[in-house]
Amino acid sequence: MRITMIGTGYVGLVTGTCFAEFGHFVTCVDKVQHKIDQLNKGTVPIYEPGLDALIKKNTEEGRLSFTTDLSRAIPDAEAVFLAVGTPSSRRGDGYADLTYVYEAARDVARYLRGYTVVVDKSTVPVGTARQVERVLRETNPEATFDVASNPEFLREGAAITDFMRPDRVVVGVESDRAAQVLREIYKPLYLRDTPIVQTTIETAELTKYAANAFLAVKISFINEIAMVCEAVNANVIDLAKAIGMDGRIGGKFLHPGPGYGGSCFPKDTVALMRIVQEYGENVRLVEAAVEANAAQKARMVKKIREMLGGSETGKTIAVLGLTFKPETDDMRDAPAATILPALLEKGARIRAHDPKGMEEAKRSLPEAIEYKENPYETVVGADCLVLMTEWNQYRALDLQRIKRAMNTPIFVDLRNVYDPEIMRAAGFSYTGVGRK
């Protein structure tokens, strides 16, 4: 099939490339000429394992192309996916900013020729598809189209696997004709017996928010239980393993840490709260998870401060890992973006390393942070080492080399990567999260 993807951000680029890998002919459109030029040269603007190779393969085989020209990309398309950004509103009220969605809908409408399914792929509040339909009809009353919702469930760092072998595909449609187009697009997954959940448009829109909110609640829950474990001298790792064996609970997202971050959970939980409030209701569990997440980040600052004897003033802190999770360069709402400025404000000196996120970090974190080329450079002369993100590169560090390089062998493990007994035997003052 002929598919056009509007937006070459994380969702649009991964989705368009994977559709091409399915065998469809995909044109990815973006307004930023420089980004399109780079993609046409084979330079990928985001880091996602395996994505660059998949783009190269499908462009060389003629199934994937990039352009800024809507007049070339839209008229022959059988499906147009809107995969533009929906950031939090600049007003600071937590609502999703749908400016780019409606702008994209107006641009698409002008070039619609023949029957087309216009699909919301962006994470959008309930009711957005209805407004997209209104915008399309007002802009081009003669157009023949259906609007559908097809939310994405991609984990950064594992997006290609998630797309190719998803737990499910959710499709919100109103017409059999639109449903048939989407079934054809996802035919390779049908053949693998992937569950395809067909719902109303509103149900599909809400599903994405509900899924992310549930996972955010689960993370905040285990972080609060970790706090209890520290108070009563219990071990949260063993506890999480035990409760995760219950089939009703499951072990995923029961890993305590410095709080959730990224492009989805912080934005989507708050947006869901605002959506519900419009209907005069509350989602108190989600509200509590948001509050608990903020408290967890503050708790991590306190933990680091206590390990430094009660004050970080004048101390050098080495930080390993800046992105909100491994295998991505995404710094959006990363715990580091809250924790490190708080330490700097009280007079700490910070040196940092991240395998993929340092360029993004330089744009989003305070300039005072000093960046190093490798973990061992980072710890030279440090009074404390904080493991912030559990990249594989940090899981087997040469502990004696690190100890010799540091002023004081203090190790704050915010991801519980290392065994406390081994760390203490190696001569470190060590603390994790939820473990004495």
What is the spatial distance between Cα 244 and Cα 157, in angstroms, rounded to a whole number?
A: 23
Rounded to 5 degrees, what are φ and ψ at 120? Answer: -75, 115
* Catalytic site residue from 18, 28, 264, 384: 264
Return the bridge partners of 316, or none: 349
Give, for 81, the enclosing helix (H) or strand (E): strand 79-82
Could you tell me if 410 and 383 are in contact, meaning their C-beta atoms sit under 8 angstroms apart?
Answer: yes
What is the spatial distance between Cα 431 and Cα 436, in angstroms, rounded to a whole number?
A: 7
Could you tell me if 390 and 415 are in contact, meaning their C-beta atoms sit under 8 angstroms apart?
Answer: yes
Structure tokens of 222?
């285990």
Q: In what order do the strands lie in the sheet with 429-431?
A: 370-371, 349-353, 316-320, 384-387, 410-413, 429-431
What angle, rounded to 10 degrees, do the helices at 201-232 and 265-278 form? 120
Mark whether 229 is an active-site residue. Answer: no
What is the spatial distance between Cα 385 and Cα 366, in angstroms, rounded to a whole number?
A: 19
Q: Beta-strand (E) ranges in 205-269?
A: none
Catalytic residue set: 264
